[in-house]
Amino acid sequence: MKLNNIIPEPVTSDKKSTKSLNKPEKDAKLVVLQPIGYPFLCNLVENPKIEIFDKELFELYAREQWLGYTVEEGSFIFDQKLLPDYAFKIIKAHPDNSKITDSTSILLMEVEEVREIKRIESTLTMEDVIGQERAKDKCKIIMKYLQDPEHFGDWAPRNVLFHGTPGTGKTMLAKSLSNELKVPLFLIKATSLIGEHVGDGARQIHELFEAASITAPSVVFIDEIDAIGLDRKYQSLRGDVSEVVNALLTEMDGINQNKGVVTIGATNNPHLLDFAIRSRFEEEIEFALPDEKERKAIIELYVKSMPLSIGFDTGKLVNPTKGLSGRDIKDRILKVALHKAIHEDEEIITWKHVKYALKQIKDNENEPKGMFA
């Protein structure tokens, strides 16, 4: 996304911050800014791209000009010095609606990173994830730790790996955790940490963990971690991958004192992971395909929110969905059956529509896979 394509939300004439009317009591620990650009441009001027070469210097500069300003997530703050009126969006303020002091950490994030780091809006709860009891229990233990770190002494949960068949609920569990946790959760897709230039990846990993440790206790969830934690035999594919792996190792060891930060990694290819990274995970939890009881529960869960009435016995679907994941059941069976019914202008989804969806899957399975099959 180009910066100058972003249309800033309406701003008021109060240049300090768009929503700074309530006087905050709290001091900001962390502020994450996204460069936006000028509120309007004349044809000749382009929005400058901001790049920070010296983070500490930028923090000094930022704190000095915004000392005492109120920061609220989603509002804007304007540069007053080098680029007068250049807007930054406040992506994260911890705590929200707090005041910048001379010990506030101020980070600037690129647009792509910001999209991933934003706290996701989710109404999911852990109970919506059917089965995967071991993973849910681990999440509950992590929640206990985050509420009362002292209770765990030196035995804190640190690094946990979720792995298993695609579509079994790994990302879904992360999203529900983000909703249930009372502490910040940084949900990152590993591919977004790599960056365009050599060196970007390692820097972004350090910044991510820095943000997490400032807001600790907190959770870093790295989805599809095999994209950065690649086994050494694949590392030559990208020159800087070993740098990225090393950055991740450093953070997972907590050398940078990430106290109170729990890292959860998710992958469907644990064997692709660098051995040193894999061995840092104290626990590997497998996400299995749903069994009979779980398939029944998944079908019942999703059928409830379908926009047409159901004209078949949902219990009949439990057997033919054996071997399918939660995602397959939802997207490849229920959704396809629904679309078929809508296409036929029917008010009720009948077994005929379900049979059509089941047949699609069967036909796909029978299709030759790849050119040598």
Ligand X SMILES: Nc1ncnc2c1ncn2[C@@H]1O[C@H](COP(=O)(O)OP(=O)(O)OP(=O)(O)O)[C@@H](O)[C@H]1O
| Binding residues for ligand X (CB under 6 A) | 129-132, 166-172, 268, 287, 298, 326-327, 330
Does residue number 325 form part of the binding site for Mg ion (CB under 5 A)?
no
Strand partners, 89: 34, 76
Among ligand X, Mg ion, none, the one that 254 touches (CB under a kind-dependent 5 to 8 A) is none
Asked if 192 is part of the footprint of Mg ion (rule: CB under 5 A), the reply reads no
130 CB-contact burial (10 Å; exposed 0-12 / middle 13-18 / buried 19+): buried
Per rule CB under 5 A, is residue 165 in the interface with Mg ion? no
Residue 190 binds: one of ligand X, Mg ion, none (C-beta under 5 to 8 A by kind):
none
Q: Minimum distance between the CB of residue 208 and ligand X, rounded to whole angstroms?
A: 20
If one asks whether residue 171 binds Mg ion (CB under 5 A), the answer comes out as yes
Q: Does 178 bind Mg ion (CB under 5 A)?
A: no
The tokens describing 98, both together, are: 């707090």
Residues 164, 269: Cα–Cα separation, whole Å: 7
273 binds, among ligand X, Mg ion, none (CB under 5 to 8 A by kind): none
- The least distance separating Mg ion from the CB of residue 278, rounded to whole angstroms, comes to 18
User: Min. distance of Cβ 188 from ligand X in angstroms?
Assistant: 14
Which 8-state DSSP code applies to residue 9?
P
* Span near Mg ion by CB under 5 A; candidates 166-174, 247-255, 257-265, 321-329: 166-174
Spacing of C-alpha 290 from chain mean position: 24
Residue of closest CB approach to ligand X: 326
Place of tokens 């219990």: 315
DSSP line for 302-360: HHTT-SSEE-S-GGGGTTTTTT--HHIIIIIIIHHHHHHHHHTT-SEE-HHHHHHHHHH
Per CB under 5 A, which region of 95-103, 119-127, 168-176, 355-363 contacts Mg ion? 168-176
Give the number of other CB atoms < 10 A from CB of residue 251. 23
User: Which DSSP string do the residues of 227-286 spell out, in sequence order?
Assistant: GTSB-HHHHTTSTTHHHHHHHHHHHHHTTT--TTEEEEEEES-GGGB-HHHHHH-SEEEE
Which window, 60-68, 79-87, 90-98, 163-171, contacts Mg ion (CB under 5 A)? 163-171
Residue 314 binding: pick among ligand X, Mg ion, none (C-beta 5-8 Å cut-off by kind): none
CA 328, CA 336: separation in Å to the nearest integer? 10
Least distance to ligand X from the beta carbon of 268, Å?
A: 4
Query: How near is the Cβ of 227 to Mg ion at its closest, in Å?
Result: 12
Q: At what angle do helices 351-366 and 335-343 cross, to 10 degrees?
A: 120
Query: Is the Cβ of residue 119 or residue 327 nearer to ligand X in the bound state?
Result: 327
Pick 18 or 171: Cβ nearer ligand X: 171
- Taking the complex as a whole, the smallest distance from the CB of residue 103 to ligand X amounts, in Å, to 38
Angstrom distance (rounded) from CA 183 to CA 211: 13
CB of 170 to Mg ion, least distance (A): 5
Locate 36 and state its tokens. 């936006």
Binding site for Mg ion (CB under 5 A): 170-171
